[in-house]
Amino acid sequence: MAEVFHCTTSNGIILSNCWFAFGAYGTKHPLRATKVEEFFIGKVLSVGVLYEAVKLLGAIVVPEFAHTTISRCLGIPEHNVRVITRRVGGGFGGKCFRAMPVATACAVAAYKLQRPVRIYMNRKTDMIIAGGRHPMKITYSVGFKSDGKITALDILINAGISVDVSPIMPHHIVETLKMYDWGALSFDIKLCKTNHSSKSAMRAPGEVQATFTAEAVIEHVATTLSLDVDSVRSKNLHNFNSLVFFFEGSAGEPVEYTLPSIWNKLAISSSFKERTEKIKQFNTCNKWQKRGISRVPIVHEVALTPTPGKISILSDGSVAVEVGGIELGQGLWTKVKQMAAFALSSIQCDEMGDFLEKIRVIQADALSLIQRGLTAGSTKSESTCEAIRLCCNMLVERLILINKKLQEQMGSVKWSTLILQSYGSALLLDSRRYSWYSPVSIEELQRSLSSVENGNGSRVKVVVGNIGMSYYYKELESFDKYIDLRCVPELSMIRRDDIRMIIGATVRISKAIEALREGNIVWKKIADHMEKVASRFVRNSASLGGNLVMAQRNHFPSDIAIVLLAVGLLVNLMNGLKSEEITMEEFLRMPELYSKSILVSVKIPDCYRIMSISSGTKMKLLFETYQATPRPLGNALPYSNATLMAKISRCAKFLTGKVLSVDVLYEAVKLLRSIVVLDDDTSYPAYRSSLAAGFLFEFFSHLVEGNAESPNGYMNGYSTLMSPARHLDHGKVSTLLTSGKQEVELNKQYHPVDEPIAKSGAVIQASGEAVYVDDIPSPTKCLHGAFIFSTKPLARVKGIELKPKSVADGVNAVISFKDILGENLGIKTGFGPEPLFADDFTRCTGQYIARDTQKHADMAADLAVVDYDMENLEPPILSVEEVVRKSSFFEVPSFFQPKQVGDFSKGMAEADHKILSAEIKLGSQYYFYMETQTALAVPDEDNCIVVYSSIQAPEYAQSTISRCLGIPEHNVRVITRRVGGGFGGKAMEAIPVATACALAAYNLRRPVPMHMNRKTDMKTTGGRHPMEVTYSVGFKEDGKMTALHLDILINAGIGVDISPIIPLFMVDAIKKYDWVAFSFDIKVCRTNHSSKSAMRGPGEVQGTFISEAVIEHVASVLSMDADSGAAGELKEYTLPSIWDKLAASSSFKERTDMIKQFNMCNKWQKGGISRVPIVHEVLLQSNPGKVSILGDGSVAVEVGGIELGQGLWTKVKQMTAFSLSAIQCDGMGDFLEKIRIIQADTLSLVQGGLTAGSTTSECSCEAVRICCNILVERLTPIKEKFQEQMGSVEWGILILEATRQVEVNLLTGQTTILQSEIIYDCGRSLNPAVDLGQIEGAFVQGIGFFMLEECLSNSDGLVIPEGTWTYKIPTDGTIPRQFNVEIMNSGHHKKRLISSKASGEPPLLLAVSVHCATRVAIREARKQLLHWKGLNESDLTFQLEVPATMPIVKKLCGLENVEIYLQSLLS
């Protein structure tokens, strides 16, 4: 063994003006004979050139490695370093790592001196420092019989001063020694650190030495036995069994082991035996010349490496190729060119004979294409060619479509023609059919329109932003010609003169707003109103003219058109060569504009200026705009818009010449009511009429003479101040969160568990880098799917016709129940199955369309005409009342039937008061996840299918697909990386989507993705269970309950899904109060609506609302505060303390008194406050987990839970880090960075059921904790052994409740949540940051259910909302203005994982407090209304529906409250 010592001289770099010299290592010893220099023609060359960063031109085989080394050496990011290698003049391994110091030295010098630096190393220096092949000393001991068997080998390898790649040598040596069947092979191979120059890989590193060693041993044995060497070799050749024994998993198949046949073939082809005899004869006859002959075998293990490739076809048809391999002289570029020519030739164009000349392989560039490692191992050419073949196949697939179209038009197609056409038609449109015009002047626009007029019936579309197609209507036809107006200057100008502002039709709405803000008060108010239109993104993209044209042509409910109509807007139209100017009213009433008519500009008059000129005196102009919308900040379809200017209303004619007083205003309101007559199909007609009256009242109320008011402003304790303008701000109302507080109690006992670390994947989700199913690149030859859903609740399907023909021609297949190979199964739960497709009768989804793009598939599905037959069929069941009459119920298994409590009859007998048969109706709620239902199915080899699904229960999909396709489950692989929101909607409802994709892909043998559009998703996925509730309750004089009975009818829809679990969950939620006796009759109803499924807090949300409705009703009957009776009823250990803590922390009593005072002082706004408890039963389930510690110490974790955005992966990472930290190694400070959670794969880890119920994170963490404990148990003995030897051990070494305050506007019914206080007992949070997000998110989703989200159905039971246009979920304008959340640490719970409780679903139930607080505010409004009517205030009982939308709140506050108020003043 060589002694380890330090060099006595330095290996440095000497800088001078134009040359470099390296000092040599200080050694006088000659090299051993076993040392071989790497003698290559191109010596090591590097040039450092300084640009904005560092650019390095180098003769190096691994640019990527130099890239990393230079980055770390200079202390700059890797993207600041560019390493370029065109070709290398020979390498043989010497340009792998030995070239890196040269490149790095150049880069350091250039970076420091800010000048280009070159090194060209002379041969002498190169030979001294380049290292070369590893010398080694080999001692072998061999035991053998007559045929020779090796028993042991000892090998010492001289690695030089540094490690380089020397650690790979033992593996290469041993793998090569296995070329013979030694019987038994043992070895002790050591890498020796010496003060020689570092040795590196040289062609066939270790393999050359091992081959020599093997042959030396064979020769030695043969000599000892006096046998012919060749016979000893033959006897020691492997048969296939011994090959498998020595090479284990890499031996391949018997047919692949060709060495014996090669051995024999070589003997024959080379006349080996005859030549051996001749050589013996020659040696006998020649004393001074001797000859020898030998044949030796080799076995070389081939290892392919992933290698990148990139192909660019340029506009002239030439081809540029970039690959992840370096040209060393081995012909890599030649093979790549050949492969590119072969693969692209399948396009079959003319003039491709000399195609090799069109191809060029370009230099390696570390920033252009990541090189993926080393050009070495003899297989880089093959790996690179495979990468290029895949690239070419993708290009061929794209080009072949264009080629077919060109062949139809031209016959034969030249390569250059094909490429030119491809460049000129990026959208693959036939230039003879499709065209895009971008005129740059009015004259060009007129010519374009004239050509359309003289055309052959082409369909033309005029576009600017084309936003309407995405947000309001879906384009169901294709167009032949498009005219883009954005480049016409006359249409994009904004000009202002003394009496008006002229705005071009293509001016973006946001730009129009900016211009209006610079004008008078009227224009500023118009701008304020327009700023509530849509979102900022839409306003930045949509044009003002486009908005008005949509209102004229597509009956678009334009806010902007209504506002501009009031100010006398003029519209400038161009029809061919003619122009005309008309009023906005005339524009809206005229026939629909056709494609040749263009809106050029609009003129907004300066009303102040015009009035001043016309009257000759300055007048005060009354102008105001109003809007009643579900979202106070706008970006929602409003119930009503109004613009009032005193001089132009019909009501103003009535008011002309009169002194404005209460009676005049009252008569004006009555007149307006008679004028506003709404169409029969208008939703909430009474509410909208009431809004108009309210807007008129608010506009004029502050002008009514003060003598209408009482002297002191108060009457019987209520304010008589008329004007709502004193209290209501109609400017830019900010309802955004103004303040908030989050409190958590931290405990370091389980670090890093319970630390508020950032959610795993949050950054890539926010940046859009996170890969969801729809982000997976579409595979080649894929078809896209779409459902044709039934629009009839019960009917026979006679047939389906696809119209128009252009759409039908593009449909590759229509998949129906007839194509199902196994069972017609779409969902299978423990309660029963649901079909995938309708058969003879419609269900909620029908056939399945497959087309080339998702847009085309959706279009084909939308345009499909279904022929229904409803003759001789019973009427569908569309209400729970019909269910009762027809006894259409689903059975609830006995083990899911809740148990009744106490004796109801006895409880009612003991009651002082009774409420009998009160009714409640609860509607549905749509899931509204960000990512709609999505799946991608890819057929695989051997009758298998791989499905990528956004689903909460992958194994359920696996089982269903298996049965539908009629194949074993092990042939079905379902993969789920993450889900873009689920809330229960991706549990069962995702299964039919995945199954339909799988069925289509399996039948068509092509990949099939489907990304369901929002309209289809909303109509088919069901949502929360609607229900009708009738309750009877008995109670004492003090509010103490004695008995409660509920009759509940749950609308489950057509399929059973998981509906039988709802009764149990409802009853458990209602039991949060002590009812003493509690009985119920709950029925799960089967109707012809779409199947309802689990939604966040299934049954519990409804149960919570029912219990609070009963409490509120009892309090109202007893004229008590609903809060006063609640605290005594609470159950559960921590609830009493939370109840009291919340009262103190939120100043509940003081705020209640403040709200009472507020309600007395404010006529048109009322406040309310409420606090409610919840009790949630936590159910744990079995869950699998798998933890793998990899060779570099990193950790891969797989669990039986799906990441839905709830932070499951984050908590699992924390638990893994905590559990493995028990090993107590050094270097585990940033251990979280070493842990990665990998995607769910049903064939890798059985998933263990459904990710739901708020406890999957805890269950997954427990599974991982157990896995980690096993690993720690295994690692501890190893760690202890290392500690004895080393002391400290590095990890890497070892491995080798809630208060709500709301405000209600009595004129519009708008509810504002002023403040929310949540105290939540989360046990001991696994991650407070994640749980805070879950609590806040669930609460806001609850606000949606209780206050905003209407899931309405038409007369056929079809869901009406089709997207965000008509279905509004909470946004930043609807959350509490002040939002305080506290996570309470309730201490140790031995039955839970580290004392953690659930956080996903229970907080949603707390949102019922918003509904309760709204009820309080409404009660105050109703008291006031009764006072105005002169009635007593005893009967204040009412039911506030769910959701409590603006029309419902306004109705309960009084649709005619303005008239009643004015009448009270008159009387």
User: What is the set of active-site residues?
Assistant: 1401
DSSP-derived 3-state class of residue 308 = coil
Cα–Cα distance between 175 and 1359 in angstroms, integer?
67
Residue from 1011, 960, 940 nearest 785 by CA: 1011
- Listed in sequence order, the DSSP H helices in 345-411 are 380-410
Residue type, 793: P
Q: Which residues pair with 1270 in a beta bridge?
A: none
Which H or E run includes 1188? Answer: strand 1185-1189
Residues 6+ apart with CB under 8 A from 110: 48, 49, 50, 54, 116, 117
Cα–Cα distance between 774 and 1010 in angstroms, integer?
8
Residue from 1167, 1070, 1051 nearest 1110 by CA: 1070
Full DSSP string of 964-989:
HHTS-GGGEEEEES--S--TTTTTST
Residue 201, Cβ density class (10 Å: 0-12 exposed, 13-18 middle, ≥19 buried) = buried
Tokens of 953: 């229960």
Cα–Cα distance list, 1310 to 1026, 1304, 1348, 1373 (Å): 24, 6, 11, 12
Residue type, 1163: K
Cα–Cα distance between 1138 and 1321 in angstroms, integer?
8
Full DSSP string of 1142-1179:
HHHHTTHHHHHHHHHHHHHH-SSEEEEEEEE-------
Cα–Cα distance between 969 and 963 in angstroms, integer?
8
**Sign of CA pseudo-dihedral 622, 627, 628, 630:** negative
Q: Which residues pair with 1010 in a beta bridge?
A: 935
What's the gap between Cα 683 and its chain centre?
35
What's the gap between Cα 568 and its chain centre?
47
CA angle, 420 then 425 then 431, to 5°: 100
Q: What is the CA radius of gyration of the chain?
A: 41
Q: Which residues pair with 1083 in a beta bridge?
A: 1049
Q: How many other CB atoms are there within 10 angstroms of residue 298's CB atom?
A: 12
Tokens of 1171: 């606090």
Cα–Cα distance between 936 and 778 in angstroms, integer?
9
Say which residue the tokens 């005072």 belong to: 1157
Phi, psi of 428 (to 5 degrees): 55, 40
Q: Which residues pair with 1319 in a beta bridge?
A: 1382
Residue from 1416, 1377, 1389, 1465 nearest 633 by CA: 1377
**3-state SS record for 35-100:** CCCCCCCCCCEEEEEECCCEEEEECCCCHHHHHHHHHHHHCCCHHHEEEEECCCCCCCCCCCCCHH
Full DSSP string of 718-776:
EE----GGGT---SS---S--EEEEEE---GGGTTTT--PPPTTHHHHHHT-S--GGGS
Tokens of 1105: 């609302």
DSSP 1127: G
**Sign of CA pseudo-dihedral 72, 73, 75, 81:** negative
